Structure 1
Amino acid sequence: MAKILVDVDEEMLAAAQLLLGTKTKKDTVNLALAEVVARVSRLKALEEGVELFAEGAFDSLMDKRNYRPVPEGHDPIPSKEECEDDRRVA
């Protein structure tokens, strides 16, 4: 771990400490850095997912028959009548 000397806004540090539930300044700074890295990583992954979606990468998943094995002669997507029958049984 690197030891550094920095000027920190005490009010921001105190606010972060309350939000993060940390006890020490060191823990607060380290957890805040970890949270920022995790948040930005999630945001980038979300942006990549949105881009893939826009390109149609998930279109084949819209039909369950494309990704689940289906026994011959069986339609995995129930009809409206079958759904209504299931509701009556439950």
Structure 2
Amino acid sequence: MLNTLVKVARLFFRTPEKGAETLVYLAADAAVKGVSGKYFIDLKPALVSRKYDSIENRKKVWDYCVRVIATVEAVRADGSSTAYEYSPV
């Protein structure tokens, strides 16, 4: 039973290496130097669904990132915890 679940899960999940591949590419490859404001999937630029691509949603994402960064910076300054322990949920 467990073997079957693992096989099914592999269809939907990526290895950590595969999951990091696009991020590493964007951080290190000269081909995308200076590229900004794009959304990438599997090393390629992709379109964001019109349903989600709105000024309101962009603002929500920006505000979320600002809150996370502020929390991480506060944790670092305080020294009472690690950044990895932050959870927005």
Q: TM-score range by the shorter chain?
A: 0.3 to 0.5
Q: 1 or 2, which has the higher helix percentage?
A: 1
TM-score, L = length of structure 2: 0.34
Q: 1 or 2, which has the higher strand percentage?
A: 2
Tell which structure's C-alpha radius of gyration is larger.
1
TM-score, L = length of structure 1: 0.34
Compare relative contact order (CA 8 Å, sep 6+) and give the higher one, 1 or 2: 2
